[in-house]
Each structure stands twice: as structure tokens, then as C-alpha cells.
Structure 1
């Protein structure tokens, strides 16, 4: 398999990108990589060129660029060229740590939607308290507004991912809502609830609330993009803020607290590891015609490696093809 890489996207590019690619190349003998970006910056970082190709370009989409306009105007940007390689079947998947909106635009407008998919959804894997399995949240921000059928399609796509990549035979699907009762929420959520409930192929457990989704009631949590993005950022922000508060309190409350902090070092390390989302890979744009994975802009080489491991699983398991096959049948039925 060949992966198209935006080597210039993200805060730590190209160093972190290249290191992550090298680690994935060494771990998987069936992976090849095309790195798009400034050759003068990339080439010195590549100690061994085996199964790595560098395609030079000076143009980059910056983090503050307007996403759709920049994708349309910056045709030679590293991100656009990487997406175009997938569109032209020169690569099997696309990866970037760059501008999120531009990655979504590349996925939707360059690579293209799967026929039958009305709105692709962005899906990260988030941690759960009880286990190390985590859960998928879709849509986490690709769409500001949604219709009931969009949420239904998110569920179907999330199920294929959970089965193929996370190896869950019958993923539990929950609908993110403001209460667990069946009649909770606005018209969007009430109608989406009924669509999910009426499909016998979906292991639908009903509504789930933001207060307990970290306890893992569902393997796939379905949401409209606006709410999903707010919940995602709340989880990330709360986890970071709590760690800062705990650290500050322990280190600034006298000698006994500092001693306690030293004795609890392993416990705090375990908590930090629990909320380390990089080990799950990046956020997947489901609903486009090839695997598209977006990692956080601040990703280090470890996060890049895990995202490429995730892509390796998606390509090997033909997750996107499973989605294409399903919606093709639905369209023709």
C-alpha cells in the first residue's frame, strides 16, 4: 500500500512527520510513502530512502488559511498534492496534521464523496475510563448542521470502522442527546433515534449523555457535527485543565503534598496515559472514497506513527470499500 503524506502540515512539520513515517516504514514491510513538501527540509531527515518518495513543492496551506479557498487556489500545496495523488490512484490513503478545514475540503472536493453518502463525518477515537478500548464519536465537526439521515449514515459508517479496525463484532451504537429517554431532544434527534431504532442491523442502545460517555456505554456515539465538536473540545480541554490544576496543587501546597506527589507519580502517569488519545490514531473522515486521516496539529512523531498504523489497518481491512459496497447496494435496492 502507498500512503500520500502532507509532510508540511502541523506545528512540528516536517521533523515529526518524517520520524513517524520512518517508524511506520520500519514496522510495516507492505507500506510505501510519498512525502509532499519542501525537499530541502525533508531530505536531510530521511536517513534511509527505502520505500519513501519525496515530491517537492514550496507551497503550503497554513493553519489560518481559509480552508476551501486555499484548497482551490493553492493547487501545488503539499496537502492538495497528497490528496490529488489519492484521487489519481497513485496512493491508497491520505494523511495530514495540517489545517483541519482544508483536510476536510481535500477529502470532500479533491478525493470525493462516496456515492450515496450525503455528508462525510469526522470521527476520532476517544478514551473510556473503564477500559482501554475507547469509543468513536461521529460527527466531531465536519458539518455544522445535520439531518436525521446524516446521523443514520454516520452510524453505519462508524460500525464498519469499529468492526474492521477496532475488531468489535457487534458495536454498540448510542445517540448523543440531552437525556436517555427515547423522546428526548429536538426533532433532529427524535427522528434520528427512530431511524437507528428501526434498523435491525444496528445494535442501538438508545440515547447517551455527555455526562457518561467516557464510561463507555457505546462503542460508536453518533452526533450532529456542532454538538460533537463541542463535546470533543470539552473533553480535551477538561482533561488538560484537570492535569494542570492537580499538578499545581501538589507542587505548591507544602512539603507533604510534594512528597505525596512523588509517591503518586506512577498513578498520575497512568491517568495521563489513559487520556492520551494519540495512541488511537487520528480522526478519520468517513464518507469519502479513500482513507483520510487527520491528526492534531501539535502531533509528535509517536502520534504520526499511530495514525499511520491506523491507516494500515483501514487499507488492509478495506474499510472504505465496505462502506462503498453497502451504500451502493442501498442505492440500487
Structure 2
């Protein structure tokens, strides 16, 4: 596209709080991030939401018809509803009218639409969803992938996830030399199932990444690893558990703070610390996951996303665009020989 200013297509009809919260997050992003947003969805509903905001920036609305409901099977839903908001948003990227897509709708439909509309990057066998989690080290986070796109994986796929994750960690998260780990049940190379053992060997032999070994469950949030790869089944369980732990921590803290005047005074004094704690453990602060491996930037947000989470998802999309993540992945991934059975 001619301008360097990112244009982000937002699936305004996707998510539990659409379109009101989606519109609110998009307007904030346009005002604060120096981007243009295209709100995709039902014009009447979007315009009704826009009336609740005073913004000096004009917003482009792109009409669509319907959305993929959570109970629908992704592929059949996308085919029955070719003008659904997620399909139209992906088409905007395909047509170079937008640089990225953000959706809090049906995650399976978003992934399928990305594959069908945008296709895979050359040399990538399977795309992966990456999610950023906090660690015990204040200045560090860890990128987990895959967290749901591929329930069953081959070693070759996990190797590609590692390369894509290293590029994202380096150029978007700012890690100079990302340390890669493989989620496993033990530190030794011989531990785990056949997938883990074969993948360990592939990662060790790959000169494009800095692989430092297996990551047990207790290591995930230790800060030792910058990127951890796994199949989408284990990754999704890990992600949902981490989100629940964050929610539990915030709830316990709220319940355990002293009550009454002393409690109120203490809470005021602790307010900056509590705000930082929330930013570190609240999944809404991280916006969503980047679908790595498709030929376009696509952020899949939580279905329960509200305005702050949508803002952060759009920020992630902008950072991926500004740092040319797709181009860097494409230049580093080399097409290998056809996989042998089990690879």
C-alpha cells in the first residue's frame, strides 16, 4: 500500500460484546496509535455504537452480512455466509485495502478464513496461534505457540513454529536472541512421547534458532524461555489455565485486602502496584494471539474481549505490520523436502 500508516480491518460483529466494545477499542486505537481502522459489519449497528463517542477522526465502515456464530462449524459457516464479517475483513487484506485483521469472534472461523482467503506463507505447512504470557521476571514475557490451531502436530510443524516464534519475539517483543524451549514432561532429550523426542532433535539441529532444551510446566513462566513450542492441544490447555490463574490471583487479592478505612487507605497507597499487577496477569492486557504462518497479519482475540483488549489486539497488529513480521518469516523459512511419514 502507498502509505506507511497501518490500516487495520476490525471484525466489529465478532465477540460477546460486539459491536459496542469493539467500536470503542477501535476508536481509541485510531486516536492513540496513528492508524486507520475499517469497521466491518452491520452499518446500522456500528453507527449506533459510534454515536456514543465523540471522535475527531473519521471511521470507515465496510458492510458485511451476518457473522459466524460460536455453535457453527467454521468451514461450513464460512461457505454458507460468504459475506460474513470475518470473510469480508480477510478479503480487505487480500485486496490490499487493509494491512491486518483483528477479530474477537469465532476463533476457528477466523483461522479458517485466514487460510482460505489469505493462504499460507511459502514453506509453512501449518499456521500457529501465538499467545504472550507474563513471567515471574517483571520485564519479560513468554510466547507460547501453538495455542489452538493444530491439535495434532508433526515435528516439522513444531520446528516451523519455533522459527516463526523466534522472529516474532525478536522483532515485536524486542528480545535480541530469543531462547526457544519445547514443552515436555522432563528436561532430558529422551523424555516425552515420540513427537517430543523427534522434535527435540530437529530443534537442536536447526541453526536458525537458539534452542536451549525442554521446558517443563514449572518452567513456562520462569522467564528462562522466550518462546515455547507445543501442539495446539497442550498449548490451549496451558493458555486457559494461565488465564484462570490470573483471574484467581486478582480475585484473591481483592478479597484479602483489608476492609474499612484502613483498607481504603492501604489500597490508595498500593494503587500503582495493583495496576501493574493487573497489567501483568490480566489476559485482556495482551489483546490476543497472532496467527503466524498465513499470508497476512491476523490477530485472534478472546471472545469476551472488551475495549481495552481490542485496543491491545490492534496494537499487536500494528507492531507486526511496522516490524515486517511476515516478510521476515518468509525470508527465513526455507521450503524443505516433502515430509516423510511422521515428520
**TM-score normalized with structure 1 length:** 0.91
- Return closer, same or farther for 1:286/1:133 CA change in 2, 3 Å cut-off: same
- Give the distance between the partners of 1:202 and 1:100, measured in 2 at CA: 29
Q: Comparing 68-77 with 262-271, which one deviates more in the overlay?
A: 262-271
User: Pairwise mapping of residues 141-290 of structure 1 onto structure 2 (< 5 A)?
Assistant: 141-245=148-252, 247-248=254-255, 250=256, 262=264, 265=267, 266=270, 268-290=274-296
- Give the distance between the partners of 2:62 and 2:208, measured in 1 at CA: 44
**Counterpart for residue 132 of structure 1:** 139
- Give the distance between the partners of 1:150 and 1:331, measured in 2 at CA: 12
**Counterpart for residue 29 of structure 2:** 24
**Counterpart for residue 43 of structure 1:** 47
User: Pairwise mapping of residues 67-106 of structure 1 onto structure 2 (< 5 A)?
Assistant: 67-106=74-113
- Return closer, same or farther for 1:258/1:175 CA change in 2, 3 Å cut-off: farther
Preserved contact between residue 174 and residue 221 of structure 1 (Cα < 8 Å): yes
Q: Once the 2 structures are TM-superposed, how far is the Cα of residue 172 of structure 1 from its aligned partner?
A: 0.6
Query: Are positions 1:307 and 2:294 aligned together?
Result: no
Q: Once the 2 structures are TM-superposed, how far is the Cα of residue 260 of structure 1 from its aligned partner?
A: 7.8
**Counterpart for residue 59 of structure 1:** 66
- Return closer, same or farther for 1:260/1:188 CA change in 2, 3 Å cut-off: farther
Q: Comparing 150-159 with 51-60, which one deviates more in the overlay?
A: 51-60
Preserved contact between residue 182 and residue 213 of structure 2 (Cα < 8 Å): yes
Preserved contact between residue 180 and residue 206 of structure 1 (Cα < 8 Å): yes
Q: Comparing 183-192 with 63-72, which one deviates more in the overlay?
A: 63-72
Q: Comparing 165-174 with 271-280, which one deviates more in the overlay?
A: 271-280
1:8-28 deviation per Cα after TM superposition (whole angstroms, max 9, x unaligned): 111111111111111111123
- Return closer, same or farther for 1:155/1:284 CA change in 2, 3 Å cut-off: same
Preserved contact between residue 42 and residue 64 of structure 2 (Cα < 8 Å): yes
Query: Are positions 1:2 and 2:7 aligned together?
Result: yes
- Give the distance between the partners of 1:263 and 1:179, measured in 2 at CA: 46
Q: Comparing 184-193 with 64-73, which one deviates more in the overlay?
A: 64-73
1:113 to 110, 114, 120: 120
1:34 to 22, 34, 38: 38
Q: Comparing 153-162 with 266-275, which one deviates more in the overlay?
A: 266-275
Preserved contact between residue 152 and residue 231 of structure 2 (Cα < 8 Å): yes
Q: Once the 2 structures are TM-superposed, how far is the Cα of residue 326 of structure 1 from its aligned partner?
A: 2.1
Q: Secondary structure at the match of 1:102?
A: helix
Give me the CA root mean square deviation: 2.1
Q: Once the 2 structures are TM-superposed, how far is the Cα of residue 44 of structure 1 from its aligned partner?
A: 3.5
Preserved contact between residue 208 and residue 217 of structure 1 (Cα < 8 Å): no
- Return closer, same or farther for 1:261/1:172 CA change in 2, 3 Å cut-off: farther
Q: Once the 2 structures are TM-superposed, how far is the Cα of residue 245 of structure 1 from its aligned partner?
A: 4.6
Structure 2 unaligned regions, length at least 5: 1-5, 338-343
How many residue pairs get aligned? The number is 325
- Give the distance between the partners of 1:139 and 1:264, measured in 2 at CA: 41
- Give the distance between the partners of 1:298 and 1:117, measured in 2 at CA: 30
**Counterpart for residue 340 of structure 2:** none
- Give the distance between the partners of 1:110 and 1:177, measured in 2 at CA: 34
- Give the distance between the partners of 1:159 and 1:67, measured in 2 at CA: 29
- Give the distance between the partners of 1:205 and 1:33, measured in 2 at CA: 40
- Give the distance between the partners of 2:56 and 2:86, measured in 1 at CA: 21
Q: Secondary structure at the match of 2:217?
A: coil
- Give the distance between the partners of 1:125 and 1:27, measured in 2 at CA: 22
Structure 1 unaligned regions, length at least 5: none
